[in-house]
Amino acid sequence: MSDRRSVPVPEGLDGLRLDAAISRLFGLSRTAAAGIADAGGVSVDGRPRGKGDRVLAGATLEVDLPSTDRVPTPPPVVVPGLVVLYEDDDVIVVDKPVGVAAHPSPGWEGPTVIGGLAAAGHRVSTSGSEERQGVVHRLDVGTSGVMVVAKSEHAYTVLKDAFRHRTVDKRYRALVQGHPDPMTGTIDAPIDRHPSSSYKYAVVQGGKDSVTHYETVEAFRGATLLDIHLETGRTHQIRVHMAAVNHPCVGDVTYGADPTMSKKLGLGRQWLHAVKLGFHHPADGRWVQFESPYAADLQAALDKVAAAS
């Protein structure tokens, strides 16, 4: 069985090979996209096309997506605490609260950024797989902070490329256990799925290249507040890298944080917040930057750590 999808080709994909365009529009691998085309599952403006054909902006692309790749999209639900920091015709920047996923996924039945935006009447790009439409990057469910979603098809293409080519400035603050030595440094270690846990990631030889830069903001008794700049954007990257150097994020019991300390601080998640996001605006290229204050639970925990130092 397959799921027939029809979308206009955005300007940013004008002139691309058909398999490359399908890959970007629906979040598929290039190999999977080529396979669909080889099986006769693609047409442009009603005419069958091969994987090597070029697409033109404005054409209607129809693709037979495998139904097994589709994640049922739950009805839009208002998300308390989801704050819109900025919005125009191309992008919408939000302050994501803890406990909210970026988009629907198998096994997740909680609130999502995409569902919350839809419930509030915001339009997002139709590019990307159905459950990830408009999503150009993600934050973990347990991580709060600033996040951008594409509204126009052009913005989706430009922002995806920006994240891919690492021209986006992503800044985080993390409260970690202990005191990293050196106080400022870089962790360059490949990350992939954990060899024995389906829901965790780990530093793995042969994994995806992953680079995290950190700088000490303030040292406390038993903990350090770090400013973190991500060069890459792997799943759980900060959490995995800090755990790998024996300084897990405070509250992150999944990656080895002290549960006693977490309980004492009243934290039910990792102390990690996306404080700043900067990128070239997809419409005119100007540099824009957005910031998010610490979430209330993180601020309260930080105040307790500071008071005890």
List the catalytic residues.
Answer: 140
Report, in this order, helix, strand and coil percent for the chain, each rounded to 5. 25, 30, 45
What DSSP element (H or E) covers 160?
helix 153-164
Q: Cis peptide before 182, with omega less than 30 degrees from 0?
A: yes
What DSSP element (H or E) covers 95?
strand 91-96
CB 211 within 8 A of CB 232: yes
Structure tokens given for 13: 């994909």
Helix intervals (H) in 2-86: 18-26, 30-38
What separation in angstroms does the CA of 299 have from each of 95, 101, 108, 247, 264? 15, 21, 27, 20, 14
Any residues with CB less than 8 A from the CB of 259 and at least 6 apart, and which?
253
